[in-house]
Every structure is written in C-alpha cells, then in structure tokens.
C-alpha cells in the first residue's frame, strides 16, 4: 500500500524530472526549428519484444521499396501510410542485456535491468532539449492493467534525464488531465487543481525552510525533492498563463476517465492527452510505454484475457492474441498521424515535421540477447528521413546508431550516442548515423 507521504514524493520526483530546467515561459514557436528535421518526436514502446516477422512483409527478404508489398496482419492498419513508413531490421542491443526488459537501456543504449538505475540521459530527454522549447519539454505516458495503473499512477522504467535521474510516466489520466488542464476546467477538476496547487505551494515553502540543517549528502537529495515541487508549481503557473490557448485543445472528459470498463479505456484517453499536448505545442517529445517498460500489461478491452508475463512466453507471429495487441498499437499510430496531419504548420502540417519511432523496450522477444532490435519509423520530416522502404541491416550496428541519426537530423553534430570508444569497438562496426535512415 502506498502511503500519503510516498504518493507526494512520487508526484514531486516524477513531475520534477519531466519538467526539467529549460521550460520557457510560452508555447513553442515550431517555425524556429531548422527545416528538414523533426520539430517533435514520439517514441512508442510495446513491451514483451517486437518479433520482426510481425512487421516485415513476407515477400521481402532484403532491403527494398514497400510500394508493392503487403504489410503483415499485425500492422495492416499502416497499409495506407506505407509511403511514410520505414521498417528497419538488423539493429542490435546486445550491450543493453535486455532479458525481460532493457528498462532505461532501451532508450539509453546502455546496460539496463530490473532495479538498475539509469547510467545516462535517454534519447527522448536529450531530444527534448534540442527541439523547439516548450512549456513541458517531455511528456511520458504509461499503459498497463487497471490494477497497476491505479495502485502506481506513476512509474519510471524507460526515460531518464541523467545518471540516477529517472523520469516518471503518467498512468492515471485523471491526474494527468488535472495537471495539464485543471486550471481551465470547471467543477470538481478545477477544485482539485486549486486544492492541490495550494498544497504543493505550502509543501514547497515548508520543505525549503526545513532542509538547511541537513548533512551535505542528504541535503543534495533533499534539494532534488524541493526542486520537484518548485517545478510543479512553476509549470502550473505557466500553463495558466496560456489558458486561452489551451482551451482549444483540452480533450472532453467522459466516463472513460472516471468509470472505465476496461484498461484500454484509460489507454485511449492517455493517448488523447498525449495528442492534445503535442497539438497545443506544450510538449515536443512524447514517450508512450505500453506495458510501462516491464513484463506486465493487460488488454482485456481487446478480448485478450491473458496478461502480464505469460504474454511474453507466446510466439508472436500468427498468434491471434499478439495480432490484436499489435493491431491496437497500429491504430494508435494511425491516430497520432491523422491528428497531427489535421493541424497546419508552416507550408504543411504538424505530421510533416514529426518523427514517430515504434519499437519495443525488449528487442525482438521477452527472453532475448538483443541480437536483433526491429524498429519502425513513421514520417520523413520534410525529407530528412527515408520512407516507403524496408531496410535489412547486418546486425553489427547498435540502436545507439539510430539515436545518433535522430540527433543528427535534429541539428546535433555527434558521432555516437551514449557509447564510448571502448564499448564501440566491441558493439559497433561503424561510426556516426545510419546512412540507410537519413536522406
């Protein structure tokens, strides 16, 4: 059972890590980003692995165009969007030691395991400081069973702002809605928002006053706790400053929030909140953890009675259970694209300036050595990324090389991401971005 004190500490740490120190007092000006690269990036990670047979067309045995290929059943919803799709197979993550999950290592490109803290910032956080600045640079949402999302509304398994600094995922849509839109809401949501704001203000005042006499080592950790509340209160204030703008994008609250029939009701509205944050411009990076980066997760709303660890012991190709889960993911990807396509931006739409990265936090399967790590990219960001194709790599370049490629396209001049020379000699046959990905 989570105590009231633990709940407050979790909220402070989670939101403080997400908010960070680079929030600017205004909605981002997307036109400020360089042309030909992403203005926003979405990471969507499904747990239990991503078997390449569930995404590679059966007729394709080598790299080539997707134009005449038929997408496999699990991702058939993406068929109308093939010209925006790039399926990549043959990257590896052996150095992440994935086993049940690579946890922070999936987006960090380093060793990750259950209970192992992050050793460096993950790619989503790094991008949040490279892309056009927003009020909330990085938003993480996590989807799980109702039991887990209710008992632990925030968890940290995938994203990090630095060594030993995890970023929490939001799993209770009511809490997330109140944080983002409580200041412009009415009734109970507004009352909860104002009450919590007063509580957080008071806690910040008390915490700031009580930490001065602590030993230096403890004071540093305590300072991070206090900073979390300062960031919460600062974010709330800044969001209230753009309330007229936010009114246009706040989703409608319905019974799925307060009286969900299935866990997928919460999954759906969490995605709606992520979409609204992107469309309103208050965030530039969205990370979606389906299964929240572990071995759990449930999809009873799809007619799937099995849940959690057992799903990872099932072969995914031609498995009706995994077909349903992957199709559900694909419909979510379609929704993301269609929603962003509906918003004009520059001479095109928001989708023209967006990259979606779909993969797993656990390479190809639940029990794996990470020798192959399939990825799907959606969007070309005004011609920066190759699309409409399948690429088969030789298994000698790590997922870090893909992250290097995204950073390069975002204007960062780097040869490697989170991989030193010693590690690269063992796990990377090349240097710099993947030529197969960038135009």
Q: What is the pLDDT of residues 46-93, one digit of tens each?
A: 999 999 999 999 999 999 999 999 999 999 999 999 999 999 999 999
pLDDT tens profile 398-437:
999 999 999 999 999 999 999 999 999 999 999 999 999 9
Question: CA 331 from chain center: how many Å?
Answer: 17
Whether the predicted pLDDT of 149 surpasses 70? yes
pLDDT in the model for residue 36: 79
Do the beta carbons of residue 24 and residue 133 sit within 8 Å?
A: yes
Q: Is the Cα dihedral 26, 32, 36, 37 positive or negative?
A: negative
Q: Would you place residue 6 in the very low, low, confident or very high pLDDT band (cuts 50, 70, 90)?
A: very low
Region 233-255: mean pLDDT is 81
Query: Which among 124, 52, 122 has a CA at the least distance from the CA of 90?
Result: 52
Do the beta carbons of residue 15 and residue 179 sit within 8 Å?
A: yes
Whether the predicted pLDDT of 385 surpasses 50? yes
pLDDT tens profile 29-38:
333 344 579 9
Whether the predicted pLDDT of 203 surpasses 60? no
Query: Which among 110, 171, 108 has a CA at the least distance from the CA of 142?
Result: 171
pLDDT in the model for residue 27: 34
Cβ-based burial of 116 (10 A; exposed 0-12, middle 13-18, buried ≥19): middle
Q: What's the chain's average pLDDT? A: 86
pLDDT in the model for residue 209: 58
pLDDT in the model for residue 212: 59
Whether the predicted pLDDT of 25 surpasses 70? no
Q: Would you place residue 110 in the very low, low, confident or very high pLDDT band (cuts 50, 70, 90)?
A: very high
- pLDDT over 90, % of the chain: 73
pLDDT in the model for residue 179: 85
What does DSSP assign to residue 25?
S
| CATH class of segment(s) 27-181+258-427 | alpha beta
Q: Would you place residue 105 in the very low, low, confident or very high pLDDT band (cuts 50, 70, 90)?
A: very high
pLDDT tens profile 178-196:
888 886 666 666 566 555 5
In this structure, what token pair is assigned to residue 325?
């889960």
Helices 173-181 and 187-210: angle between axes, nearest 10 degrees: 80
pLDDT in the model for residue 221: 54
Region 355-381: mean pLDDT is 96
In this structure, the strands spanning 344-345 and 165-170 are unpaired
pLDDT in the model for residue 30: 39
Tell which wins on pLDDT, 101 or 215.
Answer: 101
425: enclosing H helix or E strand = helix 421-427
Whether the predicted pLDDT of 20 surpasses 60? no
Region 248-270: mean pLDDT is 96
pLDDT in the model for residue 72: 98
Helices 187-210 and 216-240: angle between axes, nearest 10 degrees: 150
Q: Where are the domains of the chain?
A: 27-181+258-427
Whether the predicted pLDDT of 213 surpasses 50? yes
């Amino acid at each position: 059972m989570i105590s009231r004190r633990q709940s407050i500490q979790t909220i402070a740490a989670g939101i403080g890590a997400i908010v960070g120190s680079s929030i600017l007092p205004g909605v981002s000006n997307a036109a400020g980003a360089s042309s030909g690269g992403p203005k926003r990036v979405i990471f969507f990670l499904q747990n239990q692995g991503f078997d390449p047979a569930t995404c590679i067309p059966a007729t394709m045995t080598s790299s080539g165009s997707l134009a005449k290929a038929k997408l496999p059943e699990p991702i058939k919803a993406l068929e109308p969007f093939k010209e925006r799709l790039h399926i990549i197979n043959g990257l590896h993550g052996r150095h992440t030691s994935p086993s049940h999950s690579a946890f922070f290592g999936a987006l960090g490109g380093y060793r990750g395991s259950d209970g192992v803290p992050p050793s460096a910032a993950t790619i989503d956080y790094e991008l949040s400081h490279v892309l056009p600045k927003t009020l909330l640079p990085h938003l993480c949402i996590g989807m799980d069973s109702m039991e887990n999302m209710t008992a632990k509304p925030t968890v940290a398994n995938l994203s990090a702002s630095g060594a030993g600094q995890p970023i929490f995922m939001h799993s209770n849509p009511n809490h997330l809605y109140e944080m983002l839109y409580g200041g412009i809401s009415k009734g109970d949501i507004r009352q909860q928002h104002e009450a919590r704001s007063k509580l957080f203000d008071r806690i910040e005042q008390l915490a700031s006053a009580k930490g001065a006499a602590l030993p230096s080592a403890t004071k540093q950790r305590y300072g991070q706790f206090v900073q979390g509340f300062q960031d919460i209160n600062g974010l709330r204030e800044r969001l209230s400053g753009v309330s007229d703008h936010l009114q246009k994008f706040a989703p409608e609250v319905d019974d799925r929030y307060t009286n969900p029939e299935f866990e997928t009701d919460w999954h759906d509205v969490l995605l709606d909140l992520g979409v609204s944050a992107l469309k309103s411009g208050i965030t530039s990076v969205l990370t979606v953890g389906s299964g929240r980066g572990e071995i759990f997760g449930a999809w009873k709303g799809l007619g799937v009675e099995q849940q959690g660890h057992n799903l990872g012991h099932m072969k995914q190709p031609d498995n009706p259970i995994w077909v349903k889960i992957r199709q559900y993911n694909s419909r979510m990807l379609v929704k993301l694209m269609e929603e962003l396509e509906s918003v004009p931006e520059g001479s095109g739409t928001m989708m023209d300036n967006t990259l979606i990265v779909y993969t797993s936090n656990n390479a190809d399967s639940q029990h794996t050595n990470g020798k192959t790590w399939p990825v799907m990219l959606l969007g070309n960001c005004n011609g920066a990324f190759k699309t409409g194709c399948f690429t088969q790599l030789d298994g000698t370049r790590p997922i870090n090389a893909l992250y290097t490629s995204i950073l390069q396209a975002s204007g960062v001049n780097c040869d490697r991401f989170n991989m030193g020379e010693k590690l690269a000699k063992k796990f990377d046959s090349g240097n710099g971005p993947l030529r197969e990905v960038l135009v």
